[in-house]
Amino acid sequence: MQTQLKLNASAELEAIVARVRENIIRMSRHGGCFLGASMSCADLLTYLYGRVLRIDPRRVQDRDRDYLLLSKGHASAALYAVLAEFGFLSDGRLDNHLRLHDSLYWHPNSSIRGVEFHSGSLGHLLSVGIGIALDIKLRRGPSRVFVILGDGELNEGSVWEATLVASAKGLDNLIAIVDRNGFQANARTEDLIPLEPLAGKFESFGWACEEIDGHSFDEMDRVLGVLPVAHGKPNAIVARTVRGKGLPSMENREDRWFVASSEEEAASMIEELYGGKVEEPGRAERKLKLEL
Amino acid sequence: MTYEEKIIEIAAANQRVVVMTAENRSAIRRVPAALGDRFIDVGIAEQTLVGAAAGLALRGRIPIAHGIAAFLTMRAFEFIRSDAGIAGLPVKFVGWQPGLLSEANGPTHQAIEDVALMRAIPGMEIFCPADNAELANAMTAIVDRPDPCYIRFNSSEPVVSHSAGQEYGRAELISGGSDVSIMVYGFLLREAIKAVAILKGCGVSVRLVNMRTLNPLDEDAVVACAEITRLVVTIEDHLLTGGLYTGVVETLQRRRTFCELRPIAIAGRWFKPALLEDAINYEGFSGEHLASKIMRYLEQMPGRMRAVQ
């Protein structure tokens, strides 16, 4: 069994997630990144790696590890930033974002330590997660499979095909978390292809479903801290989030899915992130040494 | 041994093997009872079938995933390409009723571009057995190979004894000959054999090659045909584009070997839906049709033309 990274103090998580957001902003320079979609799931990913996932960066191939699959692969900047915080990526690796000599491109791939499977094409990883979860069941293993879905991604029919199949197979080791930021690439979901009532959809497909505030660690404790939500059924968590969370000037804007910023714009965003109080502008320092 | 018996035998010996299907059970009716929870039916959901197969393969399994060829290779194409293909996972895709074998189902069910699509995925192997014996014999090697593979399922009765110990990726020489070479794959081998007999009766010496795998394509076998006979004919129940003919053209060009090359394929349309024998006849793939086409190609050869003049 994996040792779990236990970060019990919310202050520690808050400090980490601030650096995650800062690094997402940094990755919006020199080519850009899907900033809005990354900011919305920064808290969720930080919480999962900090308190939930049984995975050790030194033993990423351990058969009994938990799996996290980022099906909304365009939020790669959030994943890279979180993997860097939790010891999967070396210091300074994020500076290689989009650099030819590295492989930190706009969608994740499994050559990056800690990335289980590539994504980018929406509607794939719930199916892949089903396969992983089926094998865990066959082997009676302890692992759980967490799949992070975008809400826009739920337009894809393959998601609902997989939702039916996961239910038919009773995969209670499969946890789908919807980053419900209310936007797809260019439009509000409810203006284009309405999803509500979303929790009811999962429930009617045979899943156990909980809704949480996807920016509240207390709410995550309430649900993600006591998984599974129900035995014998796959679990869905609809996490209400805000596109661009952390940057009031970016939040809930249809035109802030992908952001390419200049050095000055990034510096200004980092200042905004910290409420205008940046003690030492420049590189984010790793102030917290995690005991891994 | 049938295909079904073979995969049950393989799965019994190798716990890594799981047998999957998108509710396409015709070839594997006894597998659920034999394999228990290592048999996984996802229902009519080809995309989930392929994605889940990739997930199982990530965990070390070797999934043999069954689906109707047209829906497996086309509806789920991007899943095959992106989940199994990009990751290079050892998922074995078994396409039911490819080519003319969809008979009277109609164009929706016609997988006559499946080989072209699978050839376009880097690292995807393609196996096109001539009959149930060749299919069953090759499964052990296919399961042992580390690459994804597309199998053009065909359980027809053999009309020829295949050479034993055939190496995977090597074509099978059925008969030697000096006037014309025929390259064929799948169940049409039986029609090609009929054509060879007819041509032999007309004094034509035919080299007949059962290609077996289209990726890898046995390039030496292709080049040998072009070097030994002046006329080479490819036969396939597949669109002209992207199948054996295309592969042969690419090979001959790359190897700087030139010959008179004529394809017999389905050219730019869907075939007339009909029971198999009727479809074979209507589309000009019967032994008699093949022989008369080849006689005409021989008569049209440049050297022959001069001799006639």
Is the CB of residue B166 less than 8 Å from the CB of residue B191? no
DSSP character at residue A114 = T
Asked whether residue A283 is assigned to any structural domain, the reply reads no
Domain identity same for B187 and B143: no
- Amino acid letter, B113: E
Domain identity same for B17 and B111: yes
Q: Does A129 touch chain B (CB under 8 A)?
A: yes
- Model pLDDT, residue B305: 43
Among A131, A137, A138, select the one facing B54 at the smallest CB separation.
A131
- Model pLDDT, residue A215: 98
Closest by CA to B184, choosing from B74, B293, B64, is: B293
Q: Does B22 touch chain A (CB under 8 A)?
A: no
Domain identity same for B137 and B192: no
| d(C-alpha A80, C-alpha A94), whole Å | 7
Asked whether residue A3 is assigned to any structural domain, the reply reads no
Domain identity same for B125 and B57: yes
Q: Which one of A61, A66, A128 makes the best mutation probe of the B interface by having the most chain B beta carbons within 10 Å?
A: A128
Tell me the shortest Cα–Cα distance from A141 to chain B, in angstroms: 12
Tokens of B36: 């228990």
Phi, psi for A249 (deg, rounded to 5): -75, -15
Cβ contacts of A162 on chain B, cutoff 8 Å: 45, 47-48, 51-52
Domain boundary among B97, B124, B152: B152
pTM of the predicted structure, to 2 decimals: 0.94
Asked whether residue B66 is assigned to any structural domain, the reply reads yes
Tokens of A149: 């879905």
Helix orientation angle between B189-201 and B287-299, rounded to the nearest 10 degrees: 50
- Model pLDDT, residue A209: 97
Closest by CA to B153, choosing from B127, B178, B175, is: B127
Q: How many domains does chain B have?
A: 2
Give residue B262's domain range.
172-308
DSSP character at residue B80 = I
b/e string for B119-151 if b means 16 or more Cβ within 10 A? bebeebbbbbbbbbbbbbbbbbebbebebbbbb
Asked whether residue A97 is assigned to any structural domain, the reply reads yes
How many contacts (CB atoms, under 8 Å) link A and B?
91
In this structure, chain A runs to a length of 292
Q: List the single residue in B with minimal CA-CA distance to A158.
A: B47
Closest by CA to A148, choosing from A123, A167, A171, is: A123
* ipTM > 0.90 (yes/no): yes
Domain identity same for B228 and B141: no
CATH number at residue A64: 3.40.50.970
Helix orientation angle between A125-138 and B46-58, rounded to the nearest 10 degrees: 50
Asked whether residue B159 is assigned to any structural domain, the reply reads no
Domain identity same for B127 and B198: no
- CA-CA-CA-CA torsion for A176, A180, A186, A187, nearest 10 degrees? 130
> Are A135 and B55 a contacting pair at CB < 8 A?
yes
Domain identity same for B49 and B132: yes
Closest by CA to A77, choosing from A108, A118, A43, A120, is: A108
Closest by CA to A209, choosing from A225, A179, A230, A182, is: A230
**Other C-beta atoms within 10 Å of A280: how many?**
7
Q: Which residue has the tokens 């650099």?
A: A99
In this structure, chain B runs to a length of 309
CATH number at residue B259: 3.40.50.920
Asked whether residue B193 is assigned to any structural domain, the reply reads yes
Domain identity same for B46 and B132: yes
Domain identity same for B122 and B188: no
- CA-CA-CA-CA torsion for B154, B157, B160, B162, nearest 10 degrees? 50
Domain identity same for B185 and B129: no
Beta-carbon contacts of B144 under 8 Å, excluding residues fewer than 6 positions away, are: none
Q: How many domains does chain A have?
A: 1
Cβ contacts of B56 on chain A, cutoff 8 Å: 131-132, 134-135
Domain identity same for B23 and B100: yes
Domain identity same for B220 and B136: no
| d(C-alpha A69, C-alpha A46), whole Å | 14
Cβ contacts of A174 on chain B, cutoff 8 Å: none
Asked whether residue A282 is assigned to any structural domain, the reply reads no
- Amino acid letter, A72: K
Closest by CA to B185, choosing from B228, B140, B151, B161, is: B151
Cβ contacts of A63 on chain B, cutoff 8 Å: 59
> Are A128 and B52 a contacting pair at CB < 8 A?
yes
Give residue A223's domain range.
10-273
Asked whether residue A121 is assigned to any structural domain, the reply reads yes
Helix or strand run (H / E) with residue A149: strand A145-150
| d(C-alpha A144, C-alpha A68), whole Å | 9
Q: What is the pLDDT tens value at each position of chain A, 292 positions in all?
A: 344 455 557 889 999 999 999 999 999 999 999 999 999 999 999 999 999 999 999 999 999 999 999 999 999 999 999 999 999 999 899 999 999 999 999 999 999 999 999 999 999 999 999 999 999 999 999 999 999 999 999 999 999 999 999 999 999 999 999 999 999 999 999 999 999 999 999 999 999 999 999 999 999 999 999 999 999 999 999 999 999 999 999 999 888 889 999 999 999 999 999 987 554 444 444 433 333 3
Q: Does A133 touch chain B (CB under 8 A)?
A: yes
Q: Is B100 left (phi over 0), alpha (psi -120 to 50) or beta?
A: alpha
Weakly modelled stretches of chain B, pLDDT under 70: 304-309
CATH number at residue B16: 3.40.50.970
Asked whether residue A1 is assigned to any structural domain, the reply reads no
Asked whether residue B78 is assigned to any structural domain, the reply reads yes
Tokens of A9: 């103090």
- Model pLDDT, residue A15: 95
